[in-house]
Homo-oligomer: A and B are copies of this chain.
Amino acid sequence: MMEVDILNGNRLALSRLLTQIENDTPAGRETLRVLFPRTGRAHLIGVTGAPGTGKSSLVNQLARHYRKSASPQRVAVVAVDPSSPFTGGAVLGDRIRMTDLSGDPGVFIRSMASRGSLGGLARATAGLVQAFDAAGYDVILIETVGAGQAEVDIARLAHTTLVVEAPGLGDEIQAIKAGILEIADILVINKADRPGVENTERALRGMLQLAHPVQRIFRHHGRPERLTPDTPTPDAPLWLPPIQRTIASEGKGIAELAESIARHREFLIKTGDLERRERARLQNELDLRIQETLVKRWQAGMTNEQYDKALEKLVKREVSPEEAVEALTQEPKK
C-alpha cells in the first residue's frame, strides 16, 4: 500500500506520488483521495517576489531555521516557476538547493516548471501540498516567480504569504508591484546590506499607508476583496503587514522573520481567519476541478469532426464565436 508507505515517511514512495500528481495520473488521484483526510495540519507559507530578490536563498534559510529549532519541524519546499512556460529553469534551481540541505531526512524539496495552463499548474501545486501535508510535513514553503495572477493564486493556497523585495531593483519595478503588496502578510526586504535599503523601506511604508485600511477578507467566492472607506469595517482585529529586513546569504534576520510568521499564524488562529482561509483555499481548488471536469465531459461527448466543422465556419466568418459556442454546447435532442 503506497498510502501506508507515505504515512510512514518513505521518501521514495512520496517522490513517486509527487510525479504521479504532476502527471495527473489515475493512481495519483486515487492515492490523494485516500490521503486527503490526513491533510490540514501543515502551515503553508507562500513566498513570492521578482527575480533577483533572493527568494530561493531565503526559502533555504527558513527551512534550515525550522530544522534547527528546539522542536525541529519537518519542512517541504514546493518551487513553482510559472514565468517560463517553455524552458525548464526550475531544474537548475534544484541542484543549487540540494547541496545546501541534502542528506537531511526532515527536508523535502520539489521543483515544478509550468507545463501547460496556469489552471493545471495550480491544481498540481495544490496536489503536491496535500501530499506533503498528509506525509506529516509541518511547514510547507511554496515559492513562486512571476507577477500578477500567479501571486494571487499563491495567496489562495498559503496561510501566510511573504512578498520579497530587494533594494535597487528600480523604481518602476517597485511601482508596478503595488498590486501584489495587497496579498502580502509579511513584507521582506532581502539583501538588506545593499545600498538603497532605506529608500526601499520608505517606498514600501508609503505603499502600505496608501493601502491602509485595506484588508483582505475572503468573501463567499474566495476572492480577496478590497475594503473601501465606504465598506463598514469589521470588528475583527487588523493584521498590519510587518516589514522584515533579511540578508539571506548570511542568515541574518531569519529568526526574526520566522517569529513574524509564527505571530501571523497565531493571529490567524485567534481571529478564525485560519479556518476562513482554509475554506477559501479548498473552495478555489473545488472550483478549478469542477471546471476541468465539465470541459473533459464535454470533450468526451464531442467528435473531432463536429469541433473542426464549427471552427471552420468560424474561421470563414460564417458564424460568430458566440454562435459557434452555441452550436457546440447545445444539448443533444432526444
Contact = CB atoms under 8 A, between A and B. Distances in A.
Given A52-B170, A147-B147, A315-B278, A291 B286 contact: no
A278 to B, nearest CB: 7
Interface of A: 29, 32-33, 36-37, 39-40, 50-52, 82-87, 89, 114, 117-118, 145-150, 152, 169-170, 172-173, 175-176, 178-179, 182, 224, 226, 278-279, 282-283, 285-286, 289-291, 293-295, 297-298, 310-311, 314-315, 317-318, 320-325, 328-329
Contacts of A176: 51, 83-84, 89, 145
A282 to B, nearest CB: 5
Contact of A290 (B51, B148, B289, B325): B325
Contacts of A324: 286
Contact of A289 (B33, B175, B283, B321): B321
Nearest to A298: B294
Nearest to A39: B317
A95 to B, nearest CB: 16
- Residue of A29, A33, A146, A290 contacting most chain B CB atoms (<10 Å): A290
A152 B85 contact: yes
Nearest to A278: B315
State the number of copies, please.
2
Contact of A86 (B145, B182, B279): B182
Contact of A286 (B36, B279, B325): B325
B289 A226 contact: no
Contact of A149 (B149, B173, B325): B149
A83 B310 CA distance: 34
Contacts of A52: 170, 172-173
Given A85-B152, A149-B149, A291-B295, 14 more contacts: A33-B320, A83-B147, A83-B148, A83-B179, A89-B179, A145-B147, A148-B148, A282-B311, A282-B314, A285-B321, A286-B321, A286-B324, A289-B321, A293-B329
25 contacts: A32-B320, A32-B322, A36-B321, A37-B320, A52-B173, A84-B148, A84-B176, A86-B224, A86-B226, A87-B179, A89-B178, A146-B148, A148-B148, A279-B311, A282-B321, A286-B314, A286-B324, A286-B325, A290-B295, A290-B298, A290-B325, A293-B325, A294-B298, A294-B329, A297-B329
A278 B316 CA distance: 10
Contacts of A149: 82, 85, 114, 117-118, 149-150
A333 to B, nearest CB: 16
Contacts of A279: 311, 315
- For A169, A175, A179, the residue with the greatest tally of chain B CB atoms inside 10 Å of its CB is A179
